[in-house]
Structure formats: C-alpha cells, structure tokens
Amino acid sequence: MLRGLMQDDYPLTLGHVLGRMRTLNAGAEIVTLREADGARTRASFGEVVGRIDRLAAGLAAHGIGEGDRVGTFAWNSQEHVELYMAIPCLGAVLHTLNIRLFPEQLAYVINHAQDRIVFVDDSLVPLLDRVSDQLTTVELFVIIGDGPAGNLHPTVRYEEFLAAEPIDAYPAVEERSAAALCYTSGTTGNPKGVMYSHRSTVLHAFSTGLAEALGVTSADRVLPIVPQFHANAWGLVHGSCLIGASLVMPGRFLQAAPLAELITSERVTLSGAVPTIWMDLLRHLDAHPETDTSSLTKVVCGGAAVPRALMEPLEQRHGITLVQAWGMTETSPLGSVAHPPAGSTGEERWSYRLSQGKIAPLVEARIVADDGTPLPWDGASAGELQVRGPWIAAGYYEDPQGSVEKFADGWLRTGDVATIDSRGYIRITDRTKDIIKSGGEWISSVELENELMAHPAVREAAVIAMPDERYTERPLGCVVAEGDLSVEDLRAHLSDRVAKWWIPDAFAFIDEVPKTSVGKFDKKVLRARLTDGELEVQTATEAARG
C-alpha cells in the first residue's frame, strides 16, 4: 500500500471542540431561559469555558476520571452544556438521563450505567427522588439551582461543586474512548445503552454544519427544543460548540408560548424538535398571528413522521419551512435529511420533502427482505432499513443479547420498514412492530395517520392493528377530534386519499394519543388498551363499507 502522507492520527476528540470554544468561538453566547416571566441568563463561550475548567477541576477532585460514568437529569441549559464538555474532556462519560422515563426504568439505567455522580436540576429533584432509594452506585447528587434537595443524599450545590481554580490540564483522551451514553426509549424490555465515542461525536458534530444536513453556521442562533437527553439534542449542541453558533436554551419552558417568545426576542435562526412541538407552535401562531418568527429560517423536524398537515400551514401561514430528518439514538442521530433535489417542483417536490430524506454523507443504507436479501432502490420495494457509518452504534453497552439482535454483520437493524428510491431518498412505511398485515398485504400506518391528520377536525391520529378473523388484521384509527366527527366523515375523507382496502372500518375517539418519553406516539399503550377492552371502538355500518 502506498500510504497517504497526512496526519491521520490527529485525534477527533471533544478537547478540540473545547479548544475552539475557548479561542475562535469565544464570542458566541449561551442564553438560558430561567423564569416564566422571561428572565434569562447570558454567558459568552469564553465565560462558559472558564466554568467548564472549574467544573472539570471539581469532578477531578471528586476522583472522576477515565471511563467513570456521570449522569445528568436536566433540561437544556448553560449548565448542561458545561457538563456536556467537562465530563468527556476528563475522559469520563456523560450519561444523559431521560427525565420522562418510568421510575423503574430510570433506576435501571442509572444502576446499569453505574453512575457515580448525578447532576440534577432543582425542578426535577422530585422525579429523581422517587427512585433515590433504589440507586446502588451514586455517591453524590449535585443540584443545579437553589430549590429543595428533597431526600437526595448526599448533595452539594452546582455552584459550590465548581472548584475555585480551573483544572491545570486535561488528560490526553483517545478518540475511540467513550464520551457519552444515552439509553434508548420505547423498545420492549430494558432500555439499551448507546455509547458514543469522541470520534463519533466529533464527526457527527462536524456533519451538522453541512448545508445538506442541518446547516449550522457561526452566524446562527440555535434553539435546541429537542432535549439534551434525546440523542444529544440531535447534535445541535456539539455542532454549535464546534462551529461557533450561539445557543438559546429553553430550560423547562417547552410550551408553545414561551418558545415563540424566545424565537422572537432572541432572533433564533435554527431550531429542532419533534412534530408534536411544532403542532403546538402552529396552533399558538394561528392564535397569535402577529408573532414575529421571520428570523427562523432553518427548522429540522424528525423523531417521527412529519405530516404534510403540519408542514403546509406552518409554511403558508407563518413562513416557517420544516425540513424532515430521520435518525435514531443509535445513529447519533443524523441518518437522512429531506432537502428536495434541485429542480423539483410542485407535488414532486412535496414527495421528497415528505420523505424521511436523503441518506446523509458518510452514512450507508440498505433495505433488506425478511430472508436477508438486499432489495433494489426502486422506491417501491419495502424492507427493513439497515445503516452503517462512523457515527452509527456497533452494539449496546453491556448488553450482548441486544447487540446480537440489532447489529448483524456490521449493519444496524433499525426496525424501520422503508423504501429507498434511485436518488437515495428513504421513505419509512412503518416500524416493523407497527406493521398492519391485512389479508397478506401491508398497510402503512404512518401514511394512514398522515392522511387522517390532514382532516381539519383531526388533532392527532394513530393507527394500530386490530385482530380480524377474515383478514388477520385490520387498521384501527385512534383519533383525537376537534369538534364533531363521525366514522363516516373520516372514511369519506380517506376515500380519495388511500386505497379502498386501507380505509379503517373501525375508529376509536380518544382524548389524547399517549406519548413516549421523547414525545412520540406510543402505540404500545394503545395496543394494550385495545387488548384490555379499554378503547371504545366504533365500526362503520355494513352498508357504508360497501
């Protein structure tokens, strides 16, 4: 082999990112919303780095070093960014804890990861308190803010934990060493830990700067609404720190009104959140059309399929263009982003924008039939989506069984069923576990949901499989209605939108679609309610079915 003559051993570590925050990016700022009345704090990256150095010294004084796991149970804030940097730069592992986990899952992940310290926002102390007597490895709780410490023990306040003097020097860290740990939610069984390396984190952060991806630049003011515990806020924090974009952190104020106010007053240019958040914002903006959101030009939405019924009105009525992206905790999470191809217009352009997106640079994808055969990229053949690349997980932390199931021959089995077209755009038709097989043919629950949500009187819709004697399974539409809606109205609405045999015969009108800990539709809960007879199912008359 004739070797390249390049510095290929240059380590891709978060130390590099911290270095840029200290110098080139020192003038960017972090704004954090602190109070419901709009009170907020501001600190330049330069000031923040001073605090990161003192936090690192505090951690080192507590004996935290290479490989130690340190938990965070916190909203998006300046302190959470400080923890994002100080912990990995010491060679330790940042374990972001999902504040919406059920208590037993929360205790499980803290014990499984063997967290030695947990940093907790004072507003979240009561949630952590519920499991504090089950935690076997935590030596110290560090409380961010002045609120009560509950029964947590022993505790110290964050500002006191910061050492008086900054750390002398950070240890040299190997790029393949662990930097961060995030457990996935919503799967069956215990949560599974995805262990990001420095290398994967830096490469992924770098990719957020691509215009083809999120397009973070140093001119941006980035509002990560997606929580820092949901797949590292989709890379928005690391990307902003590396590139030098300012961060606007919403803290615990994730309701539409304070978010809209932040966007206006902070002139936010780029943001990311799951569809349910943008749905709330759409309703808020409709009610307050005078709100100025004109600064917001780059908006990424993903984590669940983004309905046209959300994208179109947000764009037409408020000038906000959503870009759909697909990813998973296991994929860091950026896997594909739906920028439409040049020259596409009208309905064709919509078909790209409504897809899960084009496979991101450095990510490889394939779709595979049940028997493992790779399928063609013809936009029609559907199979399980599998991906690989430098920021895709290779296994689960301390979980050999889970690792074997999901990581066959170097590819991550995503559990999503998709097509890929000749241009590399992915279209997800379902999760493997959500698929409805009716009379031997697949019905896409995702597509049915999107079409149902296009009805002006449908606030939310989730479609699950219902056992059926004749067809094995039939779709059941679970609908949150605004105003009067009948089964017949919904069936009429669907009649020219989907194939006749896709149209559900049965609907259940519900108050709210249950959500997972990261705000996605939780169809497991709906399925359980159906099995337990808790859903009031209304069926179309024989005559209406035709």
Q: Which residues are catalytic?
A: 184, 330, 437, 442
518 touches ligand AMP by CB under 6 A: yes
CA distances from 18 to 14, 86, 147, 180, 241 (A): 6, 9, 30, 15, 8
CB nearer ligand AMP, residue 227 or residue 327: 327
CB nearer ligand AMP, residue 65 or residue 341: 341
309 touches ligand AMP by CB under 6 A: no
Please provide the DSSP assignment of 178-214 as one string: EEEEEE--SSSSS--EEEEEHHHHHHHHHHTTSTTTT
- In the list 50, 186, 258, 424, the residue contacting ligand AMP (rule: CB under 6 A) is 186
Per the CB < 8 A criterion, the answer to whether 288 and 265 are in contact is no
Nearest to 67 by CA among 34, 101, 92, 103: 92
231 touches ligand AMP by CB under 6 A: yes
Please report how close the Cβ of residue 131 comes to ligand AMP at its closest, in angstroms.
21
- Binding residues among 286-305 for ligand AMP as defined by CB under 6 A: 302-305
Pairing of strands 29-33, 40-44: antiparallel
- In the list 208, 324, 438, 450, the residue contacting ligand AMP (rule: CB under 6 A) is 324
Q: What is the total residue count of the chain?
A: 546
| Structural tokens at position 19 | 């270095």
φ, ψ (nearest 5 deg) of residue 511:
-80, -30
CA distance 103 to 526: 21
195 touches ligand AMP by CB under 6 A: no
- In the list 77, 96, 184, 232, the residue contacting ligand AMP (rule: CB under 6 A) is 184
CB nearer ligand AMP, residue 184 or residue 240: 184
Please report how close the Cβ of residue 322 comes to ligand AMP at its closest, in angstroms.
10
- Binding residues among 423-452 for ligand AMP as defined by CB under 6 A: 428, 431
CB nearer ligand AMP, residue 92 or residue 213: 213
CB nearer ligand AMP, residue 58 or residue 415: 415
User: What strands lie across the sheet with 140-144, from one edge to the other?
Assistant: 155-157, 140-144, 117-121, 69-73, 93-96, 178-183, 193-197
414 touches ligand AMP by CB under 6 A: yes
Spatial neighbors of 517 by CB under 8 A, at least 6 apart, are: 98, 100, 101, 185, 186
96 touches ligand AMP by CB under 6 A: no
CA distances from 74 to 95, 270, 486 (A): 11, 22, 43
CB nearer ligand AMP, residue 59 or residue 328: 328
356 touches ligand AMP by CB under 6 A: yes
Q: Which residues contact ligand AMP (rule: CB under 6 A)? A: 184-186, 231, 302-306, 324, 326-329, 333, 356, 414-416, 428, 431, 518
